[in-house]
């Protein structure tokens, strides 16, 4: 089977791929993540996912499949990236407070001959967040490298009152759609249990 490489430094994406039993190696794929003028959020995340996969492929010698992914939090059509300061993080949390926003995650999978990509949109609703809560959340360190300034799988879960769509996509990788893409490249899920002894259920 052709080896799979994950072009991402995200520990969340590593955990999610491991969760579905897919072995992989990590490859560095630094790219410019600046949005283009007039670029829509769906086009932005899909372009970045493809760029990461392409950059990963360029750094590998020999046959390989590379997975790139990108996630963006979108509010009123505006992309909320990773906060670069305390003030920016607090402003993001204030804008998300008591409202719904969209989380878009794109996945791209490619080898030396083809590249397939897609994006998944989910809707997340936050309860009201007080200024004191926002400051204490920032002090936890969690918002620093997170799109939109929060992590649904971490301490930020206390803000979430509703989710419509894919939870794993909000975390960083839509697992159902990713599994379908992997299958198109001949990479099966559940490989870690494929050769495990059969479990019997005594009665």
CA nearest to 65, candidates 184, 190, 193: 184
Interatomic CA distance for residues 157 and 80, integer angstroms? 18
Please give the C-alpha separations between residue 149 and each of 47, 79, 161, in angstroms, as whole numbers.
Answer: 22, 12, 17
Q: Which of 32, 70, 111, 132 is catalytic?
A: 70
**DSSP conformation class of 185:** T
Continuous H helices in the chain? 11-19, 41-58, 86-96, 131-139, 167-171, 175-184
- Residue 70 annotated to the active site: yes
- Catalogue the active-site residues: 70
């Amino acid at each position: 089977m052709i080896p799979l490489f994950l072009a991402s430094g995200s520990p969340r994406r590593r955990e999610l791929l491991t969760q579905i039993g897919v072995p992989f190696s990590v490859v560095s794929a630094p790219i410019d993540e600046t949005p283009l003028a007039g670029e829509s959020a769906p086009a932005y995340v899909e372009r970045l996912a493809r760029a990461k996969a392409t950059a990963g492929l360029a750094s590998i010698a020999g046959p390989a499949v590379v997975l790139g992914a990108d996630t963006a939090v979108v509010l009123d059509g505006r992309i909320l990236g990773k906060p670069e300061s305390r003030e920016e993080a607090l402003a993001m949390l204030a804008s998300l407070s008591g409202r719904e926003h969209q989380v878009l995650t794109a996945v791209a999978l490619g080898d030396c001959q083809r590249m397939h990509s897609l994006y998944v949109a989910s809707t997340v609703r936050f309860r009201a967040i007080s200024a004191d809560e926002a400051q204490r959340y920032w002090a936890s360190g969690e918002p620093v490298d997170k799109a939109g300034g929060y992590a649904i799988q971490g301490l930020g879960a206390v803000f979430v009152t509703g989710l419509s769509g894919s939870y794993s996509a909000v975390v960083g990788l839509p697992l159902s759609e990713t599994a379908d893409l992997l299958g198109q490249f001949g990479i099966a899920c559940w490989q870690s249990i494929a050769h495990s002894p059969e479990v019997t259920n005594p009665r």
